[in-house]
Amino acid sequence: MKILIVGAGAIGGMLGGYLAAAGHEVGLVARGAHLAELRADGLMLRANGKARTFHLPASDDPADFGPQDAVFIALKAYAIGPMLGRLAPVLWPDTPVVTAINGLPWWYFYREGGRYDGSSIACLDPDDSMREALDAKHLVGCVVHAAAEVTEPGVVEHTGGRGFIMGELDGAITPRLEAIGKALEGAGLQPTLSGRIRDDIWTKLIGNLSYNPVAALTGALMNEINDNADLLDLIRRMMFEAIAVGEAYGARFTVSVEERLGMARKLGAAKISMLQDLERGRPLEIDAIVGAVVELARREHVSTPSTDGVLALLRERARHTLPR
C-alpha cells in the first residue's frame, strides 16, 4: 500500500518504520529539526535493542506525495485542525484517514447514529472548520496502545506495546478497514478491528484524563502516582466521573476502574506524555483529554467535580509555564 504518515514523530515514526520494513511505500510528513534529519540521514527506528534506518520521502507539505491508499494522522490534537485542509491532494474518493490520536476526537458524533449525530464538540472545533476541511466519509477512528519516543531528531525509539484498535465511524467492518488491518499485521503490529470504536476511545481516555493532568500538576512519574494513596483516590474519582459521562452518551465499559489502574501500574516508572510536553515547553492536549469530557458532562448534566477542579488547575499551570 501507499501510506502517508502525517505527524511522523513518536507513534507516527514508529508506525512508518514498521510499515516500510514490511514493504509498503511510506511517506512522512514532519517539520523542523526532525524533518531535516529525516531528509538528511533517514528515520532510525530503535526497538528491542536493535536499530534500523529507513530512507523515506519526507516533507512538511502533504501535497508533495500525491494520492494515497491510506493516511495516518499521528499529530497532537491541537495541530490537527490546520493540517486537515491540506490533505485534499493525497486523497482518492475512498482513501481512509486513520486518526491515531489522543483523547476525544473532533469527529466523535459524526455518523454516530444517536441523538447528537453530526454535532460538534465546541472546545475541539469551535467554528466547524475541521468538519468543513475533511469529509467524514474518509475518517477511521484509531486507539493506540503502544509507546514510543523521539529521542533526538530523526530517531524514534519504540518502548512498548503494538496495539492499534481501528474502527469505522458507523461501526461497519469495511474492506478498507480490513486492508489497513492486514497491512499493520503484516508489519508486526497488533491491529484490532472494532465495531464500537467510541467504546475503545473511552476505555483509554479514562486513564489519560486522570493520570495525564495529575502528572503534569505534580511532576510525578507513573509509579510515584500509583504509590500515593491520596493521588490514587483522586484518580479513581476522575475515572468514575468520566465513566458516567461516557455512559450518558451510550459508551459501554468492559474494564473496571481497578482493572484500568492495573493497566497503568504495568507502565512502571514511565514519564507520562503530558508531563513530557510540559517540561519541553510544548502545548498540552488539555481540551482533547480533559476539556471535551467536561463539555459533554455539562451537556448531559453529569456532575464531574473532581475533573472540573483538575481542569481549572491544569489550565492555570499551562498558562504560567508554557510560552505565550
String of b and e for 43-66 (b: at least 16 CB within 10 Å)? bbbbbeeeeeebebebbeebeebe
- 3-class DSSP state of 324: coil
Write the CA distances from 221 to 215, 231, 236, integer angstroms. 7, 12, 17
Q: Grid coordinates in use for 121? A: 464538540
Write the CA distances from 53 to 30, 82, 121, 189, 218, integer angstroms. 17, 30, 40, 18, 37
DSSP 78: H
Distance of CA 268 to the CA centre of its chain: 21
Q: Are 56 and 20 in contact (CB under 8 A)?
A: yes
Scanning the structure block, which residue is given the C-alpha cell 476541511?
A: 133
Q: Grid coordinates in use for 53? A: 534506518
Active site residues: 204
- 3-class DSSP state of 141: strand
Handedness of CA 143, 203, 129, 82 (dihedral sign): negative
C-alpha–C-alpha distance, residues 113 and 131, integer Å:
17
Write the CA distances from 109 to 119, 170, 198, 238, integer angstroms. 6, 10, 9, 23
